[in-house]
Amino acid sequence: MATRSQTAAVLLAGALALAACGSGGSKPSASGGAATGGKTLVIDTSFDLKTGDPGRTYEPTGLIIGKAAYETLLTFDGADVTKPVPALAESYELAEDGKTLTLKLKQGAVFADGSPITADDVVFSLTRVRDMKGTPSFLLDGVDVAKDGDSTIKLTSKTANPALPYILPNPALGIINSKAAKEHGATTDAQDKAEQYLNSASLGSGPYVIESFNVSSQVVLKANPKYYGTRPAYDKVVIRNVEAATQKLNVQRGDSQIALNLSGDQVTGMPGTLQVKKTASANVIFLLANQDSAVSKTTPNAKFVEAVRKGVDYAGLLELAGEGSTQAPGVIPSQLLGALPPEAATKRDVEGAKAALAASGLSNPSVKLEYPSELTVNGLSFQPLAERIQANLKEVGITVELAPAPVTTALDNYRKGKEEMGLWYWGPDYPDPSDYLAFLPGKTVGLRAGWKPGTAEDIEAAGEKAASTIGDEARKAVYQDVQNKLNAGGPFVPLIQPSQNIVTAASVTGLEYHPVWTVDVADLGVK
């Protein structure tokens, strides 16, 4: 798998979401674009949205829209991301060496204009994403896309790529009507000019089409009359950009049916007429201890890291995070293949932490903890977490100086590997454990912790084995082994997965939180 330097993008996405939440903009009309005589669903969210072009989409709000308007070759069944299932492809098979993925196209699938979906559409769509170098291009780095006859697609990688079936469900890889797209400037290189058109119309085969699109206020979807699958329950879906406090008010008074961005505190005490879904998000908040002696004389000490790991009060952090959050036993979140079981999570051991600190040879160490001051993850601020960690480690004998900074400043230090200790989070680029090999020495996040290649050969060897292992059960075992080794000898301390809180009207059924597209509006029912 080709690893990208994308944590910054993920974190900036969070910052953008926060900015949208803070400004809110003018409140869109609750009846904006409402259907006459049909069922309309109004969803309030804090927009993180740049485009309606699936090949350029990688922001959370855009993925909700992309999932509704464009179908992919593979998908996931509800919230289960441990096994890809057929969508536009009726079947798929990964070669024994993991280098070739063969997919057979479903017959009878059509685009919104009624034209059939062909192998040529698939090749054009995927090649376009890869070669026009938009944000999601990395998903297909090193993957050759070709058809084999009229109904077979072959995706070929130079090295084993068992993550590919887990990558293909991403809405950024939605299949577009190539003939119509070319008429509006679509190409398979950086000269592509189709984005403006795709911001006003959709060229997919999904259960919905885009009726109107405003990147700062609202997007309206209407049911695709030529959809060949099961017709969605709602004729129209209005997705509005609304600040969190107003989201709460709107859903309480019935002006909306779904609020996506409420914190644990905001959903407390909701009236019984509303449904509150609390589940652990796929974001993992973690500590890093820099391994570069030029940055710190303290944090590269393995016994110091052990003292931190044993000294953190994980139960206390969960209290701060609220109901629905969970401790992260490893860097891979609980929803993904290869996640460690809950019983593998580190338990607080103050005496053990003091013993490790004594064994470190460090006397009354003092370290600086950096984190973004204005960034929230699932409504959770880093400040109270940092303060709690500071108090926890003081009990062990470690002095922690808190150093919050604006996200751009903090990100710069983090990306350059200049933080002595850092408090950050990682959200999955795609729901496959290979995305978390970024935490190994010499990889993206490893380097941000000053962890150079060749410094932990057993962990690196375990990572190389995991990257090339084929088969779900075998992959589960090797990725758990990688995390156990990381927990024992790495510079990272996985902390928590904060809660994703979604509030819906009692009339809404079938909602499941999804770590890639948040919610599949076509799966929602009405009672």
Residue range 453-468: mean pLDDT, rounded: 96
Which residues are CB-contacts of 348 (< 8 A; sequence separation ≥ 6)? 310, 311, 312, 313, 314, 315, 392
pLDDT recorded at residue 325: 94
User: Which tens digit of pLDDT belongs to each residue from 284-311?
Assistant: 999 999 999 999 999 999 999 999 999 9
Residue range 391-419: mean pLDDT, rounded: 96
Residue 388 exposure: Cα atoms within 13 Å on the Cβ side:
18
Q: What's the whole-number average pLDDT of the chain?
A: 92
pLDDT recorded at residue 14: 39
Please check whether residue 453 is in contact with residue 441, taking contact to mean a CB–CB distance below 8 angstroms.
yes
Please check whether residue 322 is in contact with residue 263, taking contact to mean a CB–CB distance below 8 angstroms.
yes
Residue range 250-273: mean pLDDT, rounded: 93
Sign of the CA dihedral with 272 first, then 274, 280, and 283 last: negative
Sign of the CA dihedral with 266 first, then 267, 269, and 272 last: positive
Name the residue with tokens 């070929």: 156
CA distance 199 to 205: 16
Whether residue 383 has pLDDT greater than 90: yes
CA distance 57 to 63: 7
In single-letter form, the type of residue at position 241 comes to N
pLDDT recorded at residue 13: 37
Which residues are CB-contacts of 241 (< 8 A; sequence separation ≥ 6)? 20, 24, 25, 28, 45, 46, 47, 49, 216, 217, 218
pLDDT recorded at residue 318: 96
pLDDT band at 263 (very low <50, low <70, confident <90, very high): confident
pLDDT recorded at residue 422: 98
pLDDT recorded at residue 374: 83
Which domains does the chain possess? 7-277+501-526 (3.40.190.10), 284-497 (3.10.105.10)
Rounded-to-10 torsion of CA 156, 126, 513, 23: 140
pLDDT recorded at residue 408: 87
Closest CA to 479 of 343, 337, 344: 337
CA distance 58 to 50: 9
Residue range 382-391: mean pLDDT, rounded: 97
Please check whether residue 322 is in contact with residue 486, taking contact to mean a CB–CB distance below 8 angstroms.
no
Strand segments (E) across 21-121: 40-45, 74-77, 80-86, 89-94, 100-105
User: Which tens digit of pLDDT belongs to each residue from 316-331?
Assistant: 999 999 889 999 999 9
User: Which tens digit of pLDDT belongs to each residue from 45-61?
Assistant: 999 899 999 999 999 99
pLDDT recorded at residue 368: 98
User: Which tens digit of pLDDT belongs to each residue from 134-152?
Assistant: 999 999 999 999 999 999 9
pLDDT recorded at residue 17: 35
pLDDT recorded at residue 376: 83
State the DSSP string of 387-441.
HHHHHHHHHHT-EEEEEEE-HHHHHHHHHTT--SEEEEEE--SSSSGGGGGGGST
